[in-house]
Amino acid sequence: MNDENMFLQAEDLCKSFRIGSRRIPVLKGVSFSVTRGDWVALYGASGSGKTTLLDILGTLSRPDSGRVLIDGTDPASLSARALVAFRRKNIGFVFQSYHILPELNILENVMLPSRLDGMPFKAARARAAELLESVGLAGRMDHRPGELSGGEQQRAAVARALMNRPALLLADEPTGNLDSETGRGILKLFLRVRQESNTTIIMVTHDRGVASLAGHVVELRDGVVSQNEQKEEMKP
């Protein structure tokens, strides 16, 4: 694999959690690499360690041992403040439960990451409006989350995740709460984002059909990589 195209490396990641007096191992030496612009599915059954791994890749959690490199940077080497700035600049998150703030309208929700990053209001508003138009929500900008369907909220969440033009988009079961048709729409949106901006996408799923759409499937089983397959990408 060409090192110039190497974007993310996970090296021998281990993570465990303490429950009472017991220590429960979740990740037991996970290693794989991702090229820039790749679409990766982290696939496995519930309890296989997928979300724990995604949290580590997203710098929301640290491994007990091993390391992650993102575009040559080791997040563990950064100070707390520098890590927050690195995450905000480089990583977008799409969660299964949307995490859209109910007290803000959709435009304000999408603007939020850039406002936290210091972007001027007018520029942030223009960028958010452009993104909402691109995901088919131009007519819903002034609506609150409770006035939108689940699919619309998830599209808004994707727009918010893209607000700071991240190089890495992480999605945790992004179609898990959606019907099959709406879920396909979200996956088509991911494909378009990747094609237009060469964004690297890592998506957690327990659905083999969804995983089969990605060009790179990393299957977890009992905290280890049981399969690491590059294949032809399919269209949703």
The two three-digit tokens of residue 188, written as one number: 């088509």
| Token reading at 130 | 């452009």
**Residue 37 Rama label (left phi>0; alpha psi -120 to 50; beta):** left
At residue 180, the pLDDT reads 87
Span 137-146, pLDDT tens digits: 999 999 999 9
Segment 59-73 shows an average pLDDT of 96
Q: What CA–CA distance (Å, rounded) separates 16 from 73? A: 24
pLDDT at position 1 is 44
User: 182 versus 53: which is more confidently predicted?
Assistant: 53
Question: CA–CA separation, 225 vs 120, rounded Å?
Answer: 44
**Residue-wise DSSP of 49-98:** SHHHHHHHHTTSS--SEEEEEETTB-GGGS-HHHHHHHHHHHEEEE-TT-
Query: Class assignment of domain 3-100+159-230?
Result: alpha beta
